[in-house]
Amino acid sequence: MRQCSASLALGLRILWLNWRDIKHPLAGGAEVYTHEVARRLAAMGHEVVLVTSRAPGLPAEEEIDGYHVVRAGGRLSVYYHAYRLYRKTRSAWRPDVVIDEINTLPFLTPLYAREPIVVLIHQLCRDCWRYAIHPLAQPPGWLLEKTLHRVYTRAAKKGKIRAVVTVSESTKRDLVELGYPEHLVTIAYNGLDWDRYRECPSLAKEKEDLVVYVGRITPYKRLQDLLKAWSLVEKEHPGPRLVIAGRPDHKYLERLKRLANRLGLRRAEIRANISHEEKLQLLARAKTLVYTSTREGWGQTILEAAACQTPAIAYNVPGLRDAVKHMETGILVEPGNTEQLANAIKLLLIDEALRRELSEKALQYVKRFSWESTAMVFYKALRKCTG
């Protein structure tokens, strides 16, 4: 890990621990958040060192948009390597603050870090355990998760953890219920890089009979529900198409393809690893985006779709209910109710007046979000910890 440069001496030295970085092949919304905030903190004059796992083909260290990435270990061993690197480098490079970003399994920094700690939590896994591993894994998985969080809630009450940052009101409520002091929890909402969506207004002028899901293709997204709902849509509407696109869990991808075949779907397509340009085209051309996740920290793609004047249909679950305002910017449906989901899809396919109204309100709503404001809220939380 590099030495702190003299030009950054007046800025904060920030050690950030996360299981993946933006270049990891399985990077998702949490990694986008980390990247967008880290690069803006670096641009403000702070030194940010991100310690993360090392995926095949990625270098052990590199600079990304002004912050330094150190990679070691895999999905599970990264937690040990983060501890090892912290102990090894602390005498040469001492951070002012440690950010412990928790994605299911924590780094347990309260047990060894001497500096003030900021905890970043996008969501609790909770009922996602049943989809990530096995339905029977949910009770023991949730028990393990709660047990590990007790290390943090105790540290927060003793003053070792100075701030807890999360991304939605839903997750804040979950954290307070777990025992985190409410006054320590700050919401720094996800943002949007508006430069990347400048083309959307022109692309969105020509909407197609298209319904899309864009995001990671992984079990807790419950895309089997979307396929089952789509089978009901196809029976009544011969024209519209469904496209599911994103980075896949390959075993789950094959399960979805087999399900689509069993259901006899004729106008459902699954695309893996699309480009940003393809993503823009899908979000802008679609009449609606559909999200059927078990839960989310937030609905990042829902913001992106709104910037493309595309309203979302989403399950009424933590995170998604924060990003979608029911019958204002989109439609919320009962989780697991595929008939209700199909009816919502059919409604936005045929009721153009309603779809336009939701689209316009979604666009106005999303204009309040930017990564600049997210980074500033995050920075204020850091400053409270360090002086």
Residue 296: name the closest of 251, 332, 258 by CA: 332
Cα-Cα end-to-end distance for the chain: 25
Give me the mean pLDDT over the 81-89 stretch.
Answer: 91
Task: Say what the pLDDT of residue 112 is.
Answer: 96
According to DSSP, residue 159 is labeled T
9 falls in which pLDDT band (50, 70, 90)? very low
Residue with tokens 């001492």: 94
Residue with tokens 């998702």: 28
136 falls in which pLDDT band (50, 70, 90)? low
205 falls in which pLDDT band (50, 70, 90)? confident
**Residue count (the chain):** 387
The rounded distance, in Å, linking the Cα atoms of 14 and 150 is: 24
Taken in order 361, 364, 365, 366, is the CA torsion positive or negative? positive
Residue 117: its H or E element: strand 117-121
Would you say 263 and 288 are in contact if contact means Cβ atoms under 8 Å apart? Answer: no
Residue 378: name the closest of 7, 16, 81 by CA: 16
Query: Has residue 3 got a pLDDT over 50?
Result: no
Query: Has residue 2 got a pLDDT over 50?
Result: no
Query: Has residue 270 got a pLDDT over 50?
Result: yes
Domains, the chain, in order of start with CATH, read 6-191+370-386 (3.40.50.2000), 194-366 (3.40.50.2000)
Alpha carbon of residue 276 to chain centroid: 17
142 falls in which pLDDT band (50, 70, 90)? low
Give me the mean pLDDT over the 74-92 stretch.
Answer: 90
Query: Has residue 12 got a pLDDT over 80?
Result: yes
Task: Say what the pLDDT of residue 105 is.
Answer: 86
Give me the mean pLDDT over the 331-341 stretch.
Answer: 97
Q: How far, CA to CA in Å, does 179 sit from each of 107, 156, 175? A: 18, 9, 7
Residue pLDDT, tens place only, 278-310: 999 999 999 999 999 998 988 899 999 999 999
- Which of 120-124, 148-152, 197-201 is least confident? 197-201
The rounded distance, in Å, linking the Cα atoms of 230 and 290 is: 11
The rounded distance, in Å, linking the Cα atoms of 237 and 240 is: 7
Give me the mean pLDDT over the 327-355 stretch.
Answer: 97
More confident call, 104 vs 294: 294
Percent of the chain with pLDDT over 90: 78
More confident call, 382 vs 139: 382
Task: Say what the pLDDT of residue 8 is.
Answer: 39
pTM of this structure: 0.87
Amino acid present at 110: P
Query: Has residue 202 got a pLDDT over 90?
Result: no
The rounded distance, in Å, linking the Cα atoms of 59 and 62 is: 7
Residue 201: name the closest of 367, 23, 342 by CA: 367
Query: Has residue 155 got a pLDDT over 80?
Result: yes
Give me the mean pLDDT over the 92-119 stretch.
Answer: 93
